[in-house]
Structure 1
Amino acid sequence: MPVLKPKLYYVYDPMCSWCWGYKPVWNQIKQAVTDDVEIIYVLGGLAPDTDEPMPEMMQAQIASHWKKIENFLGSKFNYEFWTDNTPRRATYPACRAIVAARAQDAEQAMLDAIQVAYYTQAKNPSDNSVLVALAKNIGLDIPQFETDLLALKTHQALLTEIRFARSIGGSSFPSLFVVREGKQVEIPVDYKDAEVTIELIRSVI
């Protein structure tokens, strides 16, 4: 009987700016531990659906978070997003796009596409039209993607995933959890040093 690998849950949101800042370090961690654990991406669902434009105060607050991450981690952000779009506090559409892309084995490609479009090209992933264009760019089956993006089952799958994220303690993003032989350990996120996290994961497993 094959030995089951420990699971490493990565709880995230495709429109979470700290997840974008963490990306280079997370990629190093992933590469280092991929043979030792089963890496499972879990959508945390940062902000539910809304058609309301984001209040200016909130826009300024989020832009200031971007600046903080830029100064702390050196991540690049395109601030034209705030003038080129009507921002909405809604990340569920982007989350559903991840679920729809996952059905075509393209979760990673879609996540990368959303983050690059949002943070470097000032495109708005709260808009389904942007998400469909990104799906096209990464070569997905577009009729299938469009159907899945808008399907009730996709939204229900997202809500189930969000509940699971909360049940393991993933209420901030990014969060990391190792589950081994039924025991769960939260791994603190070090935004700058991949080695610290890699050693912690190895000590737990």
Structure 2
Amino acid sequence: MSADTRPAMDTPEQPAAPAGPTAILHAVHDPLCGWCYAAAPLLRAAASLEGLTLELHGGGMLAGNRRLRITPQWRTHVLPHDRRIAELSGQPFGAAYRDGLLRDTDAVMDSGPPTTALLAAEALGGDSLQLLERIQQAHYVEGRRVADRTVLRALAHDIGLPEAGFDHHFDALAGEPTRQHIADSHRWLQRLGGQGFPTLGLERRGQVQTLDVSGWVGRAEVWGAWLRGLLTT
């Protein structure tokens, strides 16, 4: 076969592809973790930074055989921690939580369903961080049972997610997919050398750096500025 001797055709210059995020902030967390609630403003500040993507990894702190029913002993255990969190972070704790939910001995603390709800939000293309914040507010301020599917559906609706779509993805992601997500999150926890929640790691240029956020709680604006500077180095 002879070579093609036709003159080459000029091809229009293709526009450059838009630049993707330069870094990923991995946050291993749990929706029912008080110190994750304390760190919520830090995650929101990070999510606002250009070139940084936030990925939530639900660790299942109270999922599966670790879920528990609220008891007077549990209330006595968590109240001092809640006061400390409020002092350091400025995050609010409502009377409906303190004197309502924490006295409701029929309520079950189970972080499995809210973790499934966050996965459903992501599957819908929604803002999983916004839903996490809404779940935390419902739990710690409004004293609602956020392990109940009907409550989670209402909270998803609050942030603009369609109820039918939410139900569809919730059903698809409950059970084994959620358990697999929790197992993957534990692998992230081990990779980051974390001992508990929240544990954060910054991934960029193929490397992952664990970030100690304990000194930043209550200082979201300063944290955001520090993280922005870190991204430019």
**2:27 partner SS:** strand
Instruction: Tell me how far 1:85 sits from its aligned partner.
Output: 6.2
What is the distance in 1 between the residues matched to 2:68 and 2:230? 46
How has the CA–CA distance of structure 1 residues 18 and 68 changed in structure 2, closer, same or farther, with 3 Å as cutoff? same
State how far apart, in whole Å, the 1-side matches of 2:190 and 2:137 are.
Answer: 30
Counterpart for residue 146 of structure 2: 125
Paired residues in the alignment total 203
- The TM-score normalised by the length of structure 2 is 0.74
Q: Residues 85 and 133 (structure 1 numbering): CA distance in 2 closer, same or farther, change over 3 Å?
A: farther
1:91-110 matched pairs, under 5 angstroms: 91-106=111-126, 107-110=128-131
Asked if residue 115 in structure 1 is aligned to residue 139 in structure 2, the reply is no
Structure 1 pair 137–154 and aligned structure 2 pair: CA distance change class (3 A): farther
Q: Is the 8 A contact 2:40 2:133 kept in 1?
A: no
CA–CA distance in structure 2, aligned partners of residues 42 and 201 of structure 1: 22
| Aligned residue identity for 2:74 | M
More deviation, 149-158/64-73: 149-158
Which stretch shifts more, 119-128 or 143-152? 143-152
Q: Does 1:199 align with 2:232?
A: no
Distance 2:123 2:201 in 1: 24
Alpha-carbon distance in 2 for matches of 1:21, 1:7: 21
Matched residue, 1:69: 85
Q: Deviations over 1:137-173 (max 9, x none)?
A: 3332323322332334542442343234324234522
Q: How far apart, in 2, do the equivalents of 1:71 and 1:178 lie?
A: 27
User: Which AA in structure 1 matches 2:151?
Assistant: V
**Alpha-carbon distance in structure 1 between the residues aligned to 2:125 and 2:217:** 28
The runs of 5 or more residues in structure 2 that have no matched partner are 1-16
Matches within 5 A, 1:6-85: 6-31=23-48, 34-49=49-64, 53-78=69-94, 79=98, 80-84=100-104
TM-score with structure 1 length normalisation? 0.82
Whose relative contact order is higher, 1 or 2, with alpha carbons under 8 Å and at least 6 apart? Answer: 1
| Cα 1:94–1:196 shift into 2, 3 Å | closer
Larger radius of gyration: 2
> What is the SS of the residue equivalent to 1:105?
coil
Q: Single out whichever of 58-67 and 155-164 deviates more from structure 2.
A: 155-164
Q: Which amino acid aligns with 1:176?
A: L
Note the alpha carbon deviations across 1:106-142, whole angstroms, 9 max, x for none: 2133212211111111101122221122223333232
Instruction: Provide structure 1 residue ranges, at least 5 long, that are not aligned to the other structure.
Output: none
Alignment correspondent of 1:179? 203
Q: Secondary structure at the match of 2:109?
A: coil
Three-state SS of the structure 2 residue aligned to 1:46 is coil
For the aligned residues, what is the CA RMSD?
A: 2.7
How far apart are residue 4 of structure 1 and its match? 6.0
Q: Percent of aligned pairs with the same residue?
A: 22
Matched, 1:166 2:193: no
Q: Which amino acid aligns with 1:159?
A: I
Q: Provide, for residues 79-106 of structure 1, a one-character-per-residue CA deviation record: whole Å limited to 9, x for no partner.
A: 1221356332321111111111111122
Asked whether the equivalents of residues 27 and 199 of structure 2 are also in contact (C-alpha less than 8 Å), the reply is yes
